[in-house]
Amino acid sequence: MSLAGVVLAAGRSARMGSPKALLDFLGLPFVVRILEALEALEVKTRVVVLGPDAPRIQPVIAGHDCMIVENPEPETGPIASLRAALRALQPLQPGAVLVWPVDLPHVRVTTVERILETHRRTGAVDDPAVIDQINTPDDYERLVREWNRDIY
């Protein structure tokens, strides 16, 4: 089965105050961390959906083999981004699509592998790691503190 990876990074990041895709997580921007995870999972077809911050994000991901799709209506939410990605993927006809919101850079590759395996068996995903989104500066601070708790 061919698997495509879609990174949803078209939001306005209004509550965060700056593009979430560019926030640092363990030394890399969120969007790069996710692309590297998809590469580690050997997902060959990768799509990044961008919105109003596309000019700032594109140079950061230029070194990664991915298709860039722009969502002209980011205010309509992630469903519009997903639709744009699926339209772009239609000619490739992937067997499945792994959708990864840019505000979940902390989901480990092993967790994604487990999710994919669980989904193949049951069609359901209930891992708490996939619902801990980073939307505000406080959320981001909590993430950084949690991942660096041994340092502080």
**Residue 141 domain flag:** yes
**Residue 114 domain flag:** no
Structural domains in the chain (count): 1
pLDDT of residue 130: 60
Work out the burial of residue 90: count CB atoms within 10 Å of its CB; fewer than 13 is exposed, 13-18 middle, 19 or more buried: exposed
pLDDT of residue 76: 87
* Distance from C-alpha of 20 to C-alpha of 102, rounded to nearest angstrom: 7
**Residue 132 domain flag:** yes
pLDDT of residue 127: 55
pLDDT of residue 134: 87
What residues in the chain have per-residue pLDDT under 70? 1, 118-131, 150-152
**Residue 36 domain flag:** yes
Could you list the residue range(s) of the whole structural domain that residue 43 is in? Answer: 3-109+120-147
Backbone φ and ψ for 47, nearest 5 degrees, come out as -125, 135
26 DSSP 8-state letter: T
pLDDT of residue 74: 83
Which amino acid, residue 18? S
**Residue 125 domain flag:** yes
